[in-house]
């Protein structure tokens, strides 16, 4: 079920406290008119709760329907040889996965780099297989998750199209700041990156945890490369997007899709530094 926004929670809480306070006052004074006011306030509170509950149900049903529709399209496009892993939650949602797959299938991307492995690694490998070439290099800081993703690739027979690298987080320094970022020294970046997908590290790692992705990869981004940033609706990710564009004028943020506003897409064109 969809969560209430903060302002909606505050409204409900305020009305609840107001009704409770007036109720207690009414009990204390036993004033008939005040009791009537309490009844009216409680009815209004119940009506507001029903409206919000109905809206949550509608949004939840719409989200499930769009996820199911996206999952059906993924299965149709990729024709997997085994069931796809569960999507959603901490994993890439079916709608975001479909957007990423569409981007790969309509482009000529041969070199994909990921920070954070999982379902996206598997789906990207399927795209490489379908197009008859290309490779996915996925950096993962959690050894368990890395092995789970390798298991996906083995189960689907896609080890040739993707490599999952164990890359524990190490200090990364840039422009006077220090972040915890994927250690890539043991397995350096490819010479060319056509698509960069960023779904890690977790936001609890540090402030602006995913900011180093572009500084670490900028010199390898090919002209026309695409950068995808997941969880783009969070405050840190919005700040990261603004900072990337300010520091690197060749990056241009596309207008968000209605269906996938949480997956930001940036185009890289170093020959067009102005907006």
| Alpha-carbon distances of 72 from 65, 78, 114, 119, rounded to whole Å | 11, 10, 24, 15
> What are the tokens at 238?
């919005």
**What is residue 60's three-state secondary structure?**
helix
Whole-number Å distance between alpha carbons of 64 and 69: 9
Q: Which strands form 221-229's sheet, in the order they lie side by side?
A: 162-166, 135-140, 111-115, 193-198, 221-229, 264-268, 251-253
Residue 143 confidence (pLDDT): 96
State residue 89's pLDDT score: 53
- CB atoms under 10 Å from CB of 178, counted, come to 11
Give the model confidence (pLDDT) of 103-152 as tens digits: 998 888 999 999 999 999 999 999 999 989 999 999 999 999 999 999 99
Per-residue confidence (pLDDT) for residue 7, from 0 to 100? 47
R_g (Cα) of the chain, nearest Å = 24
The pTM score is 0.75
| Alpha carbons 126 and 76: distance in angstroms, whole number | 12
Secondary-structure percent of the chain, ordered helix, strand, coil, rounded to 5: 50, 20, 30
Low-confidence ranges of the chain (pLDDT < 50): 1-7, 275
- pLDDT computed for residue 49 by the predictor: 66
Provide the 10 A C-beta neighbour count for residue 29. Answer: 11
């Amino acid at each position: 079920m969809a969560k209430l926004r903060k302002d909606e929670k505050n409204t409900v809480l305020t009305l609840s406290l107001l009704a409770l306070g007036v109720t207690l006052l009414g009990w204390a004074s036993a004033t008939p008119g005040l009791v009537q006011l309490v009844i009216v306030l409680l009815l209004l509170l119940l009506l507001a709760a029903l409206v919000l509950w109905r809206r949550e149900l509608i949004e939840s049903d719409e989200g499930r329907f769009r996820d199911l529709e996206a999952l059906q399209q993924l299965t149709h496009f990729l024709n997997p040889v085994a069931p796809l892993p569960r999507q959603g939650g901490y994993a890439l949602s079916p709608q975001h996965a479909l957007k990423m797959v569409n981007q790969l299938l309509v482009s000529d991307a041969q070199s994909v780099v990921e920070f954070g492995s999982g379902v996206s690694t598997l789906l990207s490998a399927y795209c490489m297989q379908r197009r008859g070439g290309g490779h996915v290099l996925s950096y993962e800081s959690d050894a368990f998750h890395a092995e789970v993703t390798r298991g996906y690739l083995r189960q689907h027979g896609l080890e040739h199209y993707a490599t999952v690298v164990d890359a524990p987080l190490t200090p990364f320094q840039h422009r006077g700041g220090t972040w915890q970022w994927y250690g890539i020294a043991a397995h350096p970046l490819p010479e060319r990156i056509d698509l960069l997908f960023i779904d890690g590290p977790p936001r609890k790692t540090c402030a602006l945890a995913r900011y180093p992705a572009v500084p670490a990869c900028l010199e390898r981004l090919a002209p026309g490369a695409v950068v995808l940033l997941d969880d783009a609706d969070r405050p840190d990710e919005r700040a990261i997007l603004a900072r990337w564009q300010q520091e690197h004028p060749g990056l241009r943020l596309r207008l968000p899709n209605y269906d996938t506003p949480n997956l930001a897409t940036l185009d890289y064109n170093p020959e067009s530094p102005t907006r």
